Chains A and B, each alone.
Chain A
C-alpha cells in the first residue's frame, strides 16, 4: 500500500481502519466511566428513594390541582402523574443538576495531563458522559420509573413504535445535555467564578427542560419561549412523545430542530475548546 502524507507529515494511508479502532477506544472510555459510577451503589439507592419521594410530592400537587378539571394544557390527570414519574426518572440521565467534572478538571489543571494523551478531548468527555448517562438510565431511571408506575399507576405507551420514539428522544436529549454542559463548563476557563456560571446555566437547563413544571402548563408567552429553546429536548419532548402528545409531522419537526441545535452545540463546543487549547498552549493558562 502506498503511503500518503499530509503537509505535517501525518500518515493518511490507514485512515479508515484507524477511525474504526479509535471509536472502539471511546467505547472503552465510556465503559470505564459506566464502571466508575457503578461504585456508588448505596448512594444510588438513596437517589432512587429521593426521586420517588419528589415524584410523590409532584403527583399529590397535580392531583389536587386537577380536581374538577379534565384537562390542563393538553394533559389530563393521569398524563400529569406519568409526567411526574418520567421527569423524576430522567433527571439524572439528563444530568439536570449539571456536573462540574469538566470545569474542575480545567480549574485544577488536570486537563494538561488529558492533553498529553493521544485522544480527541471532545470525544473523550463525550464518552465519559455517555457512560454516565447509560449508567443512570439503567440503575436510576429504570428503577424509579418501574417503582413510580407500580405505585402511582401512570400511563403506558400506546405501542412499540412509541417506545422506540421515546428512546430516540432520550438519546437526543442526552446529547443536547452533554453538548450544552460542555460549553457551560468550558467557560470556567475564562472566569474565576465557574460556580456562578454553572448555577445559572443549570437553572436555565432544568427550568426550560420542563423538569420543574411541565412546559404544557406554562402560560402561552413562556411556552412559546420554551419551545423556541432546545432544552425541552431533555424532558418535555421525550415525555410528550411517550404520552402520544407529539406525533407525526409535528414530532418530525421537533426532532429535526433538535438535531440542528445539536449540530450547533457541537460546533460551538469545539470552537470554545479550540480557543481554550490555544490559550492554554500559548499562554500557559
Chain B
C-alpha cells in the first residue's frame, strides 16, 4: 500500500536579521542553513494496518505526512502510495485519500457542518445513497447530530475534530492520514475519536497512519509503531517490543511489616524506600518469580504488586535520548 525508501526532505531556512538595517541585509546576503526534516526514512505499510507514527516535536512527522499526501515534494528518496507517486499525480492520489491535519480544519469556516459535508460529497462524487449511509454511520459513531447545522467557526475543538474526521471519510478512502487528531481534546472526546478510528480501520479495512503525542492513542489503537527522531528512524515494530526493548524493566512494590534494612537481592535494585514500602526494579530480562521468595526469607511481607513499565516512561526515555546512543552503536 505504502512504500517509502530513503526518504529525505531538506528545508532551506534563511536567516532573518531584525530591524531596518536587518531588512537591507536580508536583501543583500542570503545566509541559509539546511534543516534535515526527514533524513533517510524507509518503511512499508500493508493494506489495513493502523500505524502510530511517533517522535518528539520537530522530528519530521508532519513533513512525512505532507509528502505522503502529495503536498510536499521530497528532496530525495522514493515514495509509492497505491502504486502512485503522490506529488506527481496529486489530484488522482488525493481522491482515494482522507487526511486530517489536527491543527487545521478541512471544512469551510463560514458554512454549517452539513453544508461542508454536502459540498465534499460533490467534490469527491460520492453517490447520494452512499453519502446518506455514511452520514448515518458517522452520526452514530461520532454523534454529529447536535452540531450539524452550526457554522464551523462556532464549533468547540472536539466538535470540529469530529466533523473533520467525518469529512475525511465521506468518500470511503482506502487510506487515512491523521496528524494529531486528539490534540487539545478532553478524555471523553478522545475516547470517542479513538473508537471511531478503530471502527473504520477494523470494519472497512482502511489503512491508517496516525501521529500523536498522546500515548493513550497509541496504546489503545496501534499494534505497530514507527518512531523517528531528528528525521531518522529509531524504531519500527510492535508496541510490545518497544516496551520490552526500551523499558527499564518491571518494578516490584513491596510492603513489609516493619521498615526493612538494606536489601541485597540478585537481579533487583532498590530504587526508592518510604517507611515500610520499597520499590525494586527488576532487570529487563530478570524474573520476578525468582526474587519474590527471597523477600520472604527474613521479613514478613504484607502486600506485593508488580508494575509494568509505563509506555509514557519508555517513550520519554527514548525522546530524551538515553537509549538512542546504544542503539546507534
Separation of A24 and B105 alpha carbons in the complex (Å): 24
Between A and B, 21 residue pairs with Cβ closer than 8 Å are: A9-B84, A25-B122, A25-B123, A28-B119, A28-B122, A32-B115, A32-B118, A36-B111, A109-B104, A112-B104, A113-B104, A113-B106, A116-B97, A118-B94, A119-B91, A280-B71, A281-B87, A282-B73, A284-B9, A284-B66, A284-B72
Total A-B pairs, Cβ < 8 A: 73
The answer to whether B99 and A32 touch across the interface, beta carbons within 8 angstroms, is: no
The answer to whether B63 and A113 touch across the interface, beta carbons within 8 angstroms, is: no
User: How far, in Å, is B117 (CB) from chain A's closest CB?
Assistant: 11
For the complex, is B89 an interface residue (Cβ under 8 Å from A)?
Answer: yes
Separation of A36 and B111 alpha carbons in the complex (Å): 6
Q: Look across to chain B and name the residue whose beta carbon is closest to the beta carbon of A128.
A: B108
Q: Look across to chain A and name the residue whose beta carbon is closest to the beta carbon of B120.
A: A117
User: How far, in Å, is A37 (CB) from chain B's closest CB?
Assistant: 9
Contacts of A25 in B (CB 8 A): 122-123, 125
User: How far, in Å, is B26 (CB) from chain A's closest CB?
Assistant: 10
The answer to whether B111 and A21 touch across the interface, beta carbons within 8 angstroms, is: no
Separation of A35 and B115 alpha carbons in the complex (Å): 9
Q: Look across to chain B and name the residue whose beta carbon is closest to the beta carbon of A29.
A: B119
Take A35-B115, A113-B104 as given contacts and tell me if A21 and B99 are in contact as well, using a CB distance cutoff of 8 Å.
Answer: no
The answer to whether B125 and A21 touch across the interface, beta carbons within 8 angstroms, is: yes
Contacts of A115 in B (CB 8 A): 71, 90
From residue 219 to 277 of chain A, which have CB atoms closer than 8 A to chain B?
Answer: none
Separation of A8 and B89 alpha carbons in the complex (Å): 7
Q: Look across to chain A and name the residue whose beta carbon is closest to the beta carbon of B121.
A: A28
For the complex, is B313 an interface residue (Cβ under 8 Å from A)?
Answer: no
Q: B72, B89, B104, B125: which contacts A9 (Cβ < 8 A)?
A: B89
For the complex, is B220 an interface residue (Cβ under 8 Å from A)?
Answer: no
Contacts of B247 in A (CB 8 A): none
The answer to whether B124 and A118 touch across the interface, beta carbons within 8 angstroms, is: yes
User: How far, in Å, is B85 (CB) from chain A's closest CB?
Assistant: 8
Q: B101, B111, B123, B125: which contacts A35 (Cβ < 8 A)?
A: B111
Contacts of B101 in A (CB 8 A): 112-113
For the complex, is A67 an interface residue (Cβ under 8 Å from B)?
Answer: no
Take A32-B115, A110-B104 as given contacts and tell me if A39 and B110 are in contact as well, using a CB distance cutoff of 8 Å.
Answer: yes
The answer to whether A113 and B105 touch across the interface, beta carbons within 8 angstroms, is: yes
User: How far, in Å, is A58 (CB) from chain B's closest CB?
Assistant: 32
Further pairs besides A28-B123, A113-B104, A117-B94: 5, Cβ < 8 Å: A29-B122, A32-B108, A109-B104, A118-B124, A281-B73
Q: Look across to chain A and name the residue whose beta carbon is closest to the beta carbon of B100.
A: A113
Separation of A25 and B111 alpha carbons in the complex (Å): 17
Contacts of B87 in A (CB 8 A): 281
Which among A115, A116, A119 has the highest number of chain B CB atoms within 10 Å? Answer: A116
For the complex, is A10 an interface residue (Cβ under 8 Å from B)?
Answer: yes
Separation of A116 and B90 alpha carbons in the complex (Å): 8
For the complex, is B43 an interface residue (Cβ under 8 Å from A)?
Answer: no
Take A36-B108, A280-B71 as given contacts and tell me if A10 and B122 are in contact as well, using a CB distance cutoff of 8 Å.
Answer: no
Separation of A110 and B106 alpha carbons in the complex (Å): 8
Q: Look across to chain A and name the residue whose beta carbon is closest to the beta carbon of B110.
A: A36
Contacts of A10 in B (CB 8 A): 89, 92
User: How far, in Å, is A132 (CB) from chain B's closest CB?
Assistant: 12
Separation of A147 and B70 alpha carbons in the complex (Å): 52
The answer to whether B99 and A116 touch across the interface, beta carbons within 8 angstroms, is: yes
Q: Look across to chain B and name the residue whose beta carbon is closest to the beta carbon of A31.
A: B119
Contacts of A21 in B (CB 8 A): 125
Instruction: Map CB proximity to B onto A55-76 as digits: 1 under 8 Å, 0 otherwise.
Output: 0000000000000000000000
